Structure 1
Amino acid sequence: MDSIIKKSLEKSISYNTYRSLVKQLADEDSTTGLEKTEALINYTKLNDRRMKRWDKTVKISEEAKNKIESFNEASTWLLITESWCGDAAHVMPVINKVAELNENINLRIVLRDENPELMDAFLTNGGRAIPKVIMIDNESGKVTNTYGPRPSEATNYVSRFKAKYGKLTPEFKEDLQHWYNKDKGQNVIEDLTEIMCQLQPTVCL
């Protein structure tokens, strides 16, 4: 496991480099990943616009900011994604805003299809769901927690719908986009500060 993570970290890029990559791909009618279908290319274009918006508009409350800034365990957050992923476009800019507030957190990005061993070590209910954050303690090199693919409220929303109807419909996926737009990244911020409190209880005192 350690060698898989190490290998992926060596290939990882910063959030700003990832954003530049997505913009370039959108301009070139392309996408990350092994498949280059028209649908995935269109999602990449849409996601570039979404991330651009969230990069500008995500707000973090003073209370959450204080918790984030008081977390003092040097960590690497290794985030697995692809440019066409709708959930990632909403979640990643928020994770980046949180990481920017604390110099102890080093956010690094890798692509799922280029890192199959890493992805398969961190499946969600048996699936290669993204975005997925692997939180690594820099001192010990151990994985302390994981996060994703969706914020907790969205995960519950999806689970309830799947339990009732068996699968996600196009209409539901549209509803989920509305949920993200209404939530404005706040559930991701709550989830991440909760994880920080679990890892370092003094954060929440």
Structure 2
Amino acid sequence: MGVNLVQKMGQGLSPEQFVANMTRNQEQFVQWYDQFAWPEGASRTFFENYRTPGVHCVIIAADWCGDVVRNIPVVFRLMEAAHIPTEVLIMEEHLETMDQFLTFGGRSIPVVLFLDGEGGVIGRWGPRPTYVQEPMVTFKSENPDREAPDYQDKLAVARQEIMRRYGTDTGYQRLIVEEIKQILQDI
């Protein structure tokens, strides 16, 4: 991926500090964390037996973001199981780092980065599971003109579909488990 974040390693908050310092959405965040359940299959064993030396996880996030509240509790659970050191960079405090990992040219969080022991970025996930993100990918490709009169209406429709795909329960969490597992297998 070509980006090196060695200078950022150690600058973030621990997962516990991130949750403790949340001024918004803390209760929902903890609820998604507490509701996490391992999907059927060998995923839990994979994470519990993961032993690639030097891998470090850096997450760019903020407590105001709904995708952070939904997705990062799952990432925290996976990193705990895999014993991967994890830290959170608050987006607004690390804009120069955020701007190296834009989505469709915008600051979409969370961004979950996997670094090697020297700080090289060797994996990336986010802001949403692929299936949940598909409506936004389609919207962005079909609506390049942000000034178009119907842009906001079409954006609202894409966001509604994203929420429908998240659903009301924890089913979407399986997608995150699968996608993060694939990234770690490829490292």
TM-score when normalising by structure 2: 0.82
**Which secondary structure does the structure 1 equivalent of 2:155 belong to?**
coil
Q: CA deviation at 1:84?
A: 0.5
- The C-alpha deviation readout for 1:104-128, integer Å capped at 9, x for no partner, is x111101111111111111122111
**Which secondary structure does the structure 1 equivalent of 2:165 belong to?**
helix
Taking the TM superposition and a 5 Å limit, the aligned residue runs for 1:6-25 are 6-22=6-22, 25=23
Residue equivalent to 1:195: 183
Q: CA deviation at 1:141?
A: 2.8
Distance 2:135 2:48 in 1: 30
Q: Which moved more, 1:186-195 or 1:61-70?
A: 61-70
Q: Does 1:155 align with 2:133?
A: yes
Taking the TM superposition and a 5 Å limit, the aligned residue runs for 1:64-103 are 64-73=43-52, 74-103=54-83
Residue equivalent to 1:56: 34
Q: Is the 8 Å Cα contact of residues 11 and 110 (structure 1) preserved in structure 2?
A: yes
Taking the TM superposition and a 5 Å limit, the aligned residue runs for 1:85-124 are 85-103=65-83, 105-124=84-103
Give the paired residue count.
172
Distance 2:104 2:160 in 1: 23
Distance 1:68 1:10 in 2: 23
Q: Is the 8 Å Cα contact of residues 111 and 124 (structure 2) preserved in structure 1?
A: yes
Distance 1:98 1:135 in 2: 13
Distance 1:141 1:67 in 2: 24
Distance 2:6 2:175 in 1: 30
Q: CA deviation at 1:173?
A: 3.0
- The C-alpha deviation readout for 1:45-69, integer Å capped at 9, x for no partner, is xx32321211111111351111222
TM-score when normalising by structure 1: 0.75
Q: Is the 8 Å Cα contact of residues 79 and 134 (structure 1) preserved in structure 2?
A: yes
**Which secondary structure does the structure 2 equivalent of 1:110 belong to?**
strand
Residue segments in structure 2 that go unaligned for 5+ positions in a row: 144-149
Distance 1:8 1:81 in 2: 14
- The C-alpha deviation readout for 1:19-71, integer Å capped at 9, x for no partner, is 1111xx2xxxxxxxxxxxxxxxxxx2xx3232121111111135111122232
Q: Is the 8 Å Cα contact of residues 8 and 115 (structure 1) preserved in structure 2?
A: no
Q: Is the 8 Å Cα contact of residues 123 and 129 (structure 1) preserved in structure 2?
A: yes
Distance change >3 Å, CA 173–CA 50, structure 1 → 2: farther
Q: Is the 8 Å Cα contact of residues 68 and 196 (structure 1) preserved in structure 2?
A: no
Distance 1:51 1:94 in 2: 10
